[in-house]
Structure 1
Amino acid sequence: MTVSEQLLNILKSINVKHIFGVAGDALNPLVCAIGNQDQVKWIKVKHEGNGAFAAFAQGELNGKLGVCASTVGPGALHLINGLYNAKKERSPVLAITGQVPVEYIGTRFHQEADLKKIFDDVCDYQAIIRSPEEATRVFIRALRIAINNKTVCRVELPADIAEMEAKNDYFLQDIFVSDSIVIPPESTIDQAAKLINEEKKIGILAGAGCRDGRDEVLKFADKIKATITHTVRSSDIFDHDAPGVVGLSGLIGNSAGYDGIMECDLLIMLGTDFPYFEFLPKDTKIIQIDIRPESIGNRASVDLGIHGDVKYVVHELLEKCNEKSDSSFRDKLVDSFNNWKSGNNKKADPEGKLSLVQASSVSKGMSDIASDDAIFVVDTGTSTIWSTNFMNFRDQRRMIGSFNHGSMAVGLPAAIGAQLQYPDREVWALVGDGSFHMTLNEFSTAVEYGLPIKIIVFNNSELGFVKIEMEEAGLAPNYDALKVQNFDFAKYAEIAGGIGYTIDKPDEITDILNKAKSSTLPCIINAKVASGELSLPPKIGFEEAKNFGTSKIKEALQSIRGDKRQWENIKNEINSFIDKEINGRKE
């Protein structure tokens, strides 16, 4: 048995089913070992970075491990972006990289790179194998760290060692996976209960760390009459229909979610490292509960930090806190959120009186027809806005993306990883046209493996979110930089061997989405959406209003001077706004 076969057997023991990568030189012994068995499948992606995104999706969804691989220097470097995404989302991923033969390391050999230095920031541990004798121990250590710490680890396997006879089989063992929880002192929980009992208006900011404690958080919030503002990553934990939920805050949130944080007397932060400090209160009492002590006080000054498991701590607080009778704060914001939802649903209703294809209507239409256990991969940018504001992640639905790393191009490759992990569930990806251009080569990968993923491409021929960023900074958009030169995405899908649909008119949205839903082949929905659809923050301060106004003045002046693109942008925004308002007021 070779070292490659030994490592593969260890992966089999923890039920790894897929390794995403591109074969080549130093990696070839491992690839050949994979070809000699049928439990672990080699998924040949078109670009290693996409393989890392696919591995992220599997680690995020199964909570155990995703695996990607590459050969030496150039191939290994391609993995970096997808691995950073896994790191920032706290998804367990193992990267296996080749290396030049040991005797050439440090000589500037062909394709050699100092991978230890390169991967030092993204990896919590790197198992750099320099002999068959150490391979077993360091490889198992890498797996333990990746799985238990929900992080990224790397195994470096030189080409010559990969083919050597395996040693030290007596170190083989089951991979230890901890089932322990962090329990804080009872006195600390008593302090928290005292603070909660003293205040009337309480808001909860709930993050992805609440996933295992959803029921406890909902019961707790009901008992103390607290609102629940959620983060983007926890949109599929605290869906729009859950009691006490008031939605998102931040740049893509709504006023009820914002007020739930900013207008309360006591804010309880649960399992979140919400990064936007300008959307956190400065003078409000704050309790922060997190499994990671380094996150406590990271974004705002806290009055009480609790290092502990969210589910356990909330369960204890549920027993210790007094039930509150005054629900006026919660009721007011829940009513505000429900009115916001109702207005959004009417404006975005694809069955209404729209004259333009609005991205929000495509998102709502998909939400209405997708299965109750569908997986949604949401790309960065305006795709995140349309999904979180116009979709409902009810029941067993999951939503994943690049919400902390903020990388474009996660949608298509992560959808591939998700569909391979869960072949019997619907997988939808919401992708901007700019992002789609980065990874469209992987659509043929989905075709090759027969994956019925559904890719919605918001085709407005521009980098929409970058335009918003320019306007919020007080700049007139530079359309030379923003323009995306598109082709017929639906025809491309058919050329690649899948199915393609184009949405040109609002009355086509529901029918085409239903056709995509029933497709057994990979499908691209080329949604030609209006470029003028706006999304504004829940609260606009003086600086934001000034910058946005300045941008519009600059756009108007440039259009007067003959810049047709600025004039088209202004017209598109006006037409899109009027179209949605008319749809929202339909009888």
Structure 2
Amino acid sequence: MLQPTVASLMLNQLEAWGVQRIYGVVGDAILGLMDAIGKQKSIQFIAVKHESVAAMMASAEAKLTGNIGVCAATMGPGLGNLLNGLGDAYLDKAPVLAITGQAPTTKIGTDYKQYIDQQEFIKPLALYTSLATHPDSISDLLVKAIHTSVSQGAVSHLSVPKDLFTMQTKAKVIEKPLVIKGVPSLNESQNIKEISNIMNNAKHPMILCGDGAINSTNLITNLSLAWGAGILVSLGAKGYFDHSTKTLLGGIGQGGNPYAKELFENSDVVLLVGDTWWPEGYVPKNALVIQIDMTEENIGKGIPVKYGVVGMAEEILPEIIKAIPQERKNENWLDKIMKAKEKWNKDNEKERTRNDQPLHPARIVRAIEENVNEDAILSIDTGDVTVWMNRNFQPTNQTFLFSGKWRTMGFGLPGALAAKLIYPDKQVVAVVGDGGIEMTLADLLTAVRYELDITVIIFNNHALQMEKDKMIVGGYEQEGVGLTNPNFATIAEACGWKGYNISSENELNQVISEAISVSSPTLISIDTAAIVHPETKS
């Protein structure tokens, strides 16, 4: 029996660890891999128009599932184009594996076309990177790369010489181990007792939730009511709590609840649940901070923490709650929380019902909110659209997908494409700015190629509005921020989508509702007022 090629064994190894798709662009140095992909049915190759989109889609898959996302590209410029999406995965700690071709084994280190030391090239972003030099090492290298990514929330990378893909290998598939997670009872821990004492003595408590709070929202809600704490959320956790949650104050930072800023600054104890970031200018002045996070590396990273508890929030919180013997609510503090919530709700609703022409961003957000499913996936691009969605969208149970710390423009469409591939029965909507969509416009064709029923909603204000806002507030000349836009609906139609243009409020809800209900890709371009966001800083 013939031994498998390196490329075919790679696919078997990836399949054994749960990989279902690889995002990429075909190039000369990975032709052997593409040949192997074409000869099997287990792993789907998603051919996109630009490698940065492939890496962003892999990052989006990793964020949505917690599993490894995989992208592939040719050597040199292929890897160079992957870097933007890999930067997103790197800073948001999404487990992503990049596989790239490399010069043939006899040409490594020479003046061969497109050759570069790819391990040095990717080093700032990849926790693990290696060059395959022998066909029999391929399983060990792949498993080390995947394990590094998944266990540490990191980017890994493997370069494979062009000729190595088609060589035969004696390597065998290494099966994925079954990992059983759990924590021992914590209620006897002296540290938990100290944490409960701090919490019991708190007069002005607050809870700040991030991505890691996804499976503990009910526990957090119950704790906030018993403890008398307000709940703030980062954008990643925005969809975890229903807007009607009694103690939910909303988002933090620009686009969040502006009346929560003073409360947060004056808090004396803050409980961080799965959150590693808070914005400068909104932080507590003298609070003791308790942090719960799955990863020890995240404890105290960027935030001064008194106590860190490593583990899943849904397992840690019951132990903390049990250690609090009674309700310790400060009714005066709770009253301030409720007043801040009520005042912001009134202001927000007034903003969301404006009938400006062109349409106010907040009014568009409200229309999106009124027409998407309660469990929709919303892929939010980076820019002005991000802060308006954070400010005005009142969630039920939607999932927000976005570029967190890397904050790359152009993420909205790739994120939506990946989300629909992973969850074909979910409603998926990309909310983007005109500047962001113009960076990835070619991949409208990817949705058509793979029959992905998504909706793209464009805030069309003919500007890089967030940068324009900063220029206005800072007194800078507004150079380079104006956009020359096409008719996006016409381009969408040319790509096989159904396109819509909206210019007035009386069209808004009807068109969004119709577009979302169409069983094919749809794009809506909305004439949007160039409003300076109220919390803009230069």
Range class of TM-score, shorter chain:
over 0.9
SS in 1 for 2:23: strand
Equivalent residues, number:
532
2: CA distance between counterparts of 1:393 and 1:6?
Answer: 45
2: CA distance between counterparts of 1:313 and 1:375?
Answer: 28
Asked if 1 retains the 8 angstrom alpha-carbon contact of 2:291 and 2:299, the reply is yes
Using structure 1 for the length normalisation, give the TM-score: 0.87
Letter of the aligned partner of 1:15 in structure 2?
G
> Is 2:334 aligned against 1:334?
no
Deviation at 1:508, TM superposition (A): 0.8
2: CA distance between counterparts of 1:294 and 1:144?
Answer: 17
SS in 1 for 2:431: strand
1:77-88 equivalences under 5 Å are 77-88=80-91
SS in 2 for 1:212: coil
Q: Deviations over 1:545-585 (max 9, x none)?
A: xx7xxxxxxxxxxxxxxxxxxxxxxxxxxxxxxxxxxxxxx
Letter of the aligned partner of 1:345 in structure 2?
E
SS in 2 for 1:124: strand
Query: 142-151 vs 375-384, which deviates more?
Result: 142-151
Letter of the aligned partner of 1:448 in structure 2?
R
Q: Deviations over 1:438-462 (max 9, x none)?
A: 1101111111211111111111111
SS in 1 for 2:438: helix
Asked if 1 retains the 8 angstrom alpha-carbon contact of 2:119 and 2:130, the reply is no
Residue in structure 2 matched with residue 581 of structure 1 by the alignment: none
| Larger helix proportion of the pair | 1
Which of 75, 98, 102 lines up with 1:95 in the alignment? 98
> Is 2:515 aligned against 1:511?
no
Deviation at 1:58, TM superposition (A): 1.1
Moved >6 Å (runs of 4+): 182-185
Residue in structure 1 matched with residue 165 of structure 2 by the alignment: 162
Which of 16, 24, 27 lines up with 2:27 in the alignment? 24
Q: Deviations over 1:50-109 (max 9, x none)?
A: 011111111111221211100111111110110111122222211111111112111131
Which of 304, 307, 312 lines up with 1:309 in the alignment? 312
2: CA distance between counterparts of 1:208 and 1:181?
Answer: 19
2: CA distance between counterparts of 1:36 and 1:535?
Answer: 55
1:534-573 equivalences under 5 Å are 534-536=533-535
Asked if 2 retains the 8 angstrom alpha-carbon contact of 1:69 and 1:96, the reply is yes
1:480-519 equivalences under 5 Å are 480-519=479-518
Shift in alpha-carbon separation, 1:525–1:22, aligned structure 2, 3 A: same
Which of 51, 60, 64 lines up with 1:61 in the alignment? 64
Shift in alpha-carbon separation, 1:87–1:486, aligned structure 2, 3 A: same
> Is 2:475 aligned against 1:475?
yes
Letter of the aligned partner of 1:498 in structure 2?
W
1: CA distance between counterparts of 2:91 and 2:523?
Answer: 28
Letter of the aligned partner of 1:499 in structure 2?
K
Letter of the aligned partner of 1:414 in structure 2?
G
1: CA distance between counterparts of 2:97 and 2:299?
Answer: 28
SS in 1 for 2:115: coil
SS in 1 for 2:378: strand
2: CA distance between counterparts of 1:182 and 1:58?
Answer: 27
2: CA distance between counterparts of 1:301 and 1:420?
Answer: 39
Residue in structure 2 matched with residue 554 of structure 1 by the alignment: none
Letter of the aligned partner of 1:368 in structure 2?
E
Q: Which runs of 5+ in 2 are unaligned?
A: none
Residue in structure 2 matched with residue 571 of structure 1 by the alignment: none
Deviation at 1:210, TM superposition (A): 1.4
SS in 1 for 2:106: helix
Asked if 2 retains the 8 angstrom alpha-carbon contact of 1:58 and 1:66, the reply is yes
2: CA distance between counterparts of 1:280 and 1:325?
Answer: 22
Shift in alpha-carbon separation, 1:148–1:294, aligned structure 2, 3 A: closer
2: CA distance between counterparts of 1:15 and 1:365?
Answer: 38
Asked if 2 retains the 8 angstrom alpha-carbon contact of 1:219 and 1:318, the reply is no
Asked if 2 retains the 8 angstrom alpha-carbon contact of 1:502 and 1:525, the reply is yes
1: CA distance between counterparts of 2:191 and 2:302?
Answer: 21
Residue in structure 2 matched with residue 567 of structure 1 by the alignment: none
Q: Which runs of 5+ in 1 are unaligned?
A: 538-543, 548-587
Residue in structure 2 matched with residue 120 of structure 1 by the alignment: 123
Shift in alpha-carbon separation, 1:181–1:115, aligned structure 2, 3 A: farther
1:223-238 equivalences under 5 Å are 223-238=226-241
Residue in structure 1 matched with residue 448 of structure 2 by the alignment: 447
SS in 2 for 1:338: helix
Q: Deviations over 1:188-230 (max 9, x none)?
A: 1111101111122211111112122222222222221111111
Residue in structure 1 matched with residue 371 of structure 2 by the alignment: 369
Deviation at 1:426, TM superposition (A): 1.1
1: CA distance between counterparts of 2:287 and 2:372?
Answer: 40
What's the RMSD between the two structures over aligned residues? 1.9
Deviation at 1:248, TM superposition (A): 1.7
Residue in structure 1 matched with residue 392 of structure 2 by the alignment: 390
Residue in structure 2 matched with residue 268 of structure 1 by the alignment: 271
Deviation at 1:330, TM superposition (A): 2.5
1: CA distance between counterparts of 2:434 and 2:485?
Answer: 8
SS in 1 for 2:215: helix
Residue in structure 2 matched with residue 379 of structure 1 by the alignment: 381
Deviation at 1:153, TM superposition (A): 1.2
2: CA distance between counterparts of 1:203 and 1:411?
Answer: 31
Residue in structure 2 matched with residue 461 of structure 1 by the alignment: 462
Deviation at 1:182, TM superposition (A): 6.3
Letter of the aligned partner of 1:249 in structure 2?
I
2: CA distance between counterparts of 1:461 and 1:523?
Answer: 21
Asked if 1 retains the 8 angstrom alpha-carbon contact of 2:369 and 2:394, the reply is yes
Deviation at 1:113, TM superposition (A): 1.2
2: CA distance between counterparts of 1:388 and 1:177?
Answer: 38
Residue in structure 1 matched with residue 521 of structure 2 by the alignment: 522
Using structure 2 for the length normalisation, give the TM-score: 0.94
Deviation at 1:275, TM superposition (A): 4.5
Which of 185, 190, 196 lines up with 1:187 in the alignment? 190
Asked if 1 retains the 8 angstrom alpha-carbon contact of 2:469 and 2:532, the reply is no
Deviation at 1:477, TM superposition (A): 4.2
Deviation at 1:339, TM superposition (A): 3.2
Asked if 2 retains the 8 angstrom alpha-carbon contact of 1:182 and 1:291, the reply is no
1:201-350 equivalences under 5 Å are 201-321=204-324, 322-349=326-353
Residue in structure 2 matched with residue 417 of structure 1 by the alignment: 418
2: CA distance between counterparts of 1:477 and 1:223?
Answer: 52
1: CA distance between counterparts of 2:350 and 2:480?
Answer: 34
Deviation at 1:320, TM superposition (A): 0.6
Asked if 2 retains the 8 angstrom alpha-carbon contact of 1:147 and 1:177, the reply is no
Asked if 1 retains the 8 angstrom alpha-carbon contact of 2:139 and 2:174, the reply is no
Q: Deviations over 1:120-175 (max 9, x none)?
A: 12112124211111111111121222222222111211111110002122xx2322
Residue in structure 2 matched with residue 50 of structure 1 by the alignment: 53
Shift in alpha-carbon separation, 1:58–1:110, aligned structure 2, 3 A: same
Asked if 2 retains the 8 angstrom alpha-carbon contact of 1:377 and 1:414, the reply is yes
1: CA distance between counterparts of 2:477 and 2:199?
Answer: 47
1: CA distance between counterparts of 2:276 and 2:129?
Answer: 26
